[in-house]
Amino acid sequence: MPVGPTDRRRLLGLLLVAATVLTWWVFLGRDTTYQRDPGSGVTSGPYEQPQILACAAVLALLAIGAGWRLRRTAIVVLVTGAFTLAWSAEASSDETGLWLVGAIGVLVGCGAGMVLATWLGDGLRSLLARRSA
């Protein structure tokens, strides 16, 4: 049976979800260490700013790349959903019970970032199409 465009998009969607979960795991999933500032005694973490920025950059590149073949809505839903679920699976073991608040923040932030990334990707594709025409 021949593979059609719909099958390719489904496969690409699955690959996008897998790449999203892998991105979460590489940058954030293995880090459970909190940092304590010796001067102020303030505890922060477990993530640090460079981790978050690198993770966001990779997710944005994934979204822009997937935009060549997938619809913007699909990219936003797949990446945001996969990332939020991966983060929530780890965070739900938090003893404070505040992981749900964090999950909502991750959902909103990741969703907004994906909307922006897909919008930028559309602009980039339009620019490249005009240059090649």
Is the predicted pLDDT of residue 2 greater than 70, yes or no? no
Is the predicted pLDDT of residue 4 greater than 80, yes or no? no
Per-residue pLDDT band for 106 (boundaries 50, 70, 90) equals very high
Taking only the tens place, the pLDDT of each residue in 29-85 is 988 788 888 888 888 778 889 999 999 999 999 999 999 999 999 999 999 999 999
| Mean of pLDDT values over 88-93 | 90
The pLDDT value recorded for residue 10 is 93
Quick check: pTM over 0.85?
yes
For the chain, the three-class secondary structure string (H helix, E strand, C coil) is CCCCHHHHHHHHHHHHHHHHHHHHHHHHHCCCCCEECCCCCCEECCCCHHHHHHHHHHHHHHHHHHCCCCCHHHHHHHHHHHHHHHHHHHHCCCCCCCHHHHHHHHHHHHHHHHHHHHHHHHHHHHHHHHHHC
